[in-house]
Structure 1
């Protein structure tokens, strides 16, 4: 008789925002069993001591070591995943989904943007989850690249919620500073530009320069709203045909003809894209929830693909408009 045991899933680095969102999804995921949640700083404490929204959903406690699992999510933060992998040497058949920057430029890992690499993600065992800004920007940019409309200068403006900076408090995430305030940071040199450029090259963009990105800190907790434009002699109708064709069959990315707003995607794994022509310019607006489609939701989507599950499993999350 065939075994009906579900794949076992573990989380390394369970105390942060991305781990909390993973837990929100995984404790109710019908296709896997949550085996352990590791956190050195929280070992022995119940999960809801850190992630208080889990009260009533699970009585699991944090462990100080990794246990046995078929899938491991690495949520330790940038620069720490590679060291963990080299120290623990997970078995080749173990699916590793890394949510840090450590493997996004590594040819031995599949870059986990399903709208670009869905076929390669099916059955993959080493997956580098994209960055949140990188995901939002690429959802708007890659169809332009595929259509040959983004060889020149691309002008990108994106605003992100405070949770994009992680759980560790810093001056620019403090409520009294962030509230009713905006500021630009890392102008033209954001760390996600490298992975965006790499994906654009994968689709045939010849230029290695010209991605001009101004990231903005927003006065809200979660979500990313990106507007970008290129010089292009193309009608609104043709633009929408390009985007609809590119995202035909996409599980979570939807093309809209109505000017969208961020609340339509917050608390969901959706990506929403809008395109129209303005006086010889192609304007594209794209948006995601930075903690879900930009991190944990996309990580579960990638896990689903790697396990051969329907990629939407456990991710039917509705936005909260008010």
Structure 2
């Protein structure tokens, strides 16, 4: 077992003004093992952090800066897809600095290397041991995390033998901070729509993870994503053919996630508010006839993004995996 450390490390954030950057700030300013050294933002340089993330008033007097510092132990890249690669190509980051990237730039194996930097796919419930010794982490996508955790136990036993059917609804923060026609409040409120039907970008990383555990898997993943009329969270309903009895499937899931502090399995009904504002994942396992039905849910900005990135940081530096992440759910 890795010896847990109590010393502090220095952390920096690139892209601190957006949703994932803001969530990263909220976690790190209260993390017992982190000194937040700098938060980079070209558009907000010189402004207090709390002038952008107004709920942090009283928590920190740190200002945004447009100056990059490499005098850190870990650097979080909270930038848009494609921008992380551009940033690393334009800036020389010493190999002594651990990088945790929240974009999709390095998640797939074919894109996991850039010059001297190799990225490990940062899903702790899949790659915990590799993460502990990694130099750089590619943080998984929000849908990808939610959906993978719903099926990984089956793949680990070679039991994915039919097509997988998924309907999943995400909150508006999953689309990022910049307003668009489909994220604007007046369109999103009291509304529901589908998008990227059967062709969501996270399917590629899901497929790689399933083949990592079950190389023979070659069935279709039929994924219908929905835009929800709520702010944060992902609720996924997954089903497939299965010969497992309900109690067998439940035990398989409980055994797989034993020792993983944020993923919890039950046969009881679950609802989204149980996990919103936390780093938890709740998974319900039920059997209906020959169909195995799995419900998986998480907060897209925490376990689906910044919370998972901090969880990965904790593993990399030998801290308690739950450090800074004992967060209260919305509840009501």
TM-score in terms of structure 1 length: 0.97
In the TM superposition, what is the alpha-carbon distance from 1:281 to its structure 2 partner?
0.5
Q: Distance in 2 between matches of 1:168 and 1:208?
A: 37
In the TM superposition, what is the alpha-carbon distance from 1:5 to its structure 2 partner?
6.1
Question: In the TM superposition, what are the counterparts of 1:40-119 in structure 2 within 5 Å?
Answer: 40-67=42-69, 68-106=71-109, 107=112, 108-119=118-129
Match of 2:220 in 1: 210
Q: 1:149, 1:230 within 8 Å by CA — same for their partners in 2?
A: no
In the TM superposition, what is the alpha-carbon distance from 1:248 to its structure 2 partner?
0.7
In the TM superposition, what is the alpha-carbon distance from 1:205 to its structure 2 partner?
4.0
Question: In the TM superposition, what are the counterparts of 1:129-278 in structure 2 within 5 Å?
Answer: 129-278=139-288
In the TM superposition, what is the alpha-carbon distance from 1:147 to its structure 2 partner?
2.3
Match of 2:3 in 1: none
Q: Distance in 2 between matches of 1:284 and 1:52?
A: 38
Q: Distance in 1 between matches of 2:197 and 2:167?
A: 10
Q: Give ranges in structure 2 of 5+ residues lacking alignment.
A: 1-5, 113-117
Change (3 A) 1:76 1:181: same
Change (3 A) 1:220 1:66: same
Q: Distance in 1 between matches of 2:237 and 2:154?
A: 13
Of 293, 300, 312, 2:303 maps to 293
| Superimposed CA distance per residue, residues 224-258 of structure 1 (whole angstroms, 9 cap, x where no aligned partner) | 00011111111110010110010010010000121
Q: 1:46, 1:61 within 8 Å by CA — same for their partners in 2?
A: yes
Match of 2:319 in 1: 309
Q: Distance in 2 between matches of 1:110 and 1:212?
A: 26
In the TM superposition, what is the alpha-carbon distance from 1:310 to its structure 2 partner?
0.9
Match of 2:25 in 1: 23
Q: Distance in 1 between matches of 2:294 and 2:268?
A: 12
In the TM superposition, what is the alpha-carbon distance from 1:207 to its structure 2 partner?
3.2
Q: Give ranges in structure 1 of 5+ residues lacking alignment.
A: none
In the TM superposition, what is the alpha-carbon distance from 1:152 to its structure 2 partner?
2.0
Q: Distance in 1 between matches of 2:133 and 2:327?
A: 25
Q: Distance in 1 between matches of 2:317 and 2:17?
A: 25
In the TM superposition, what is the alpha-carbon distance from 1:80 to its structure 2 partner?
0.6
Match of 2:115 in 1: none
Q: 1:243, 1:255 within 8 Å by CA — same for their partners in 2?
A: yes
TM-score in terms of structure 2 length: 0.94
In the TM superposition, what is the alpha-carbon distance from 1:292 to its structure 2 partner?
0.2
Q: 1:151, 1:205 within 8 Å by CA — same for their partners in 2?
A: no
In the TM superposition, what is the alpha-carbon distance from 1:123 to its structure 2 partner?
2.9
Q: 1:151, 1:206 within 8 Å by CA — same for their partners in 2?
A: no
Q: What is the SS of the residue equivalent to 1:171?
A: coil
Q: Distance in 1 between matches of 2:133 and 2:259?
A: 19
| Superimposed CA distance per residue, residues 259-309 of structure 1 (whole angstroms, 9 cap, x where no aligned partner) | 100000000000110111111011000000000000000000000000111
